Amino acid sequence: MTTAAGVHQNTVSTSQLAPLGFQLVVPNGDFGLQTWVYVFNDDAAGAWVAGELVQLDTDMALYNGIQSATGALAKLRVLGAAQHAIAAGSYGFILQKGRGSVNTDGNLNAVGEMMVSRASGRAGEMAAGEEASVFGINLTASAVAGATLTCLINCGT
């Protein structure tokens, strides 16, 4: 699927091709819909990789993202998960809602665990008191830190 301007959800560019925060809704076969949101990679750490969680930048510039660096961020601070590489200083779509890939901190050991953000752009299992930070559920499981899992996410607004 593409926008009316012909921008595909996998398009990455150093120039802005759509309004920041623009949402592209794409059918995903028997898995429902995916909502992709257009963001700017404002991360000094570099490129985002597939499965990496992206949070709202600390300066609160809307739809400027950085690698998730904090455990149990408020759900509205998690913008989504990159599904392909997006270089620092570039624009592109990340998955905000729907079925996709998320990298784990190694603590999503059973299918169906509620997920919250963790450091290094990864997700982990919700702990007591983190209920307000849940942004998704894992559909596959792994005890390996950095493993990419299939998940159902619902980030941002």
Q: Where are the domains of the chain?
A: 18-154
Q: How far is CA 33 from the centre of its chain?
A: 15
The answer on pLDDT for 36 being more than 80 is: yes
Distance of alpha carbon 53 from alpha carbon 48, whole angstroms: 8
Annotate 36-60 with b (16+ C-beta within 10 A) or e (fewer): bbbbbbbbeeebbbebbbbbbbeee
Rounded to two decimals, what is the model's pTM?
Answer: 0.93
Distance of alpha carbon 107 from alpha carbon 129, whole angstroms: 17
Q: How confident is the model at residue 47 (pLDDT cuts 50, 70, 90)?
A: very high
Q: How far is CA 27 from the centre of its chain?
A: 18
Q: How confident is the model at residue 5 (pLDDT cuts 50, 70, 90)?
A: low
Q: How confident is the model at residue 157 (pLDDT cuts 50, 70, 90)?
A: low
Between strands 136-138 and 78-81, the pairing is unpaired
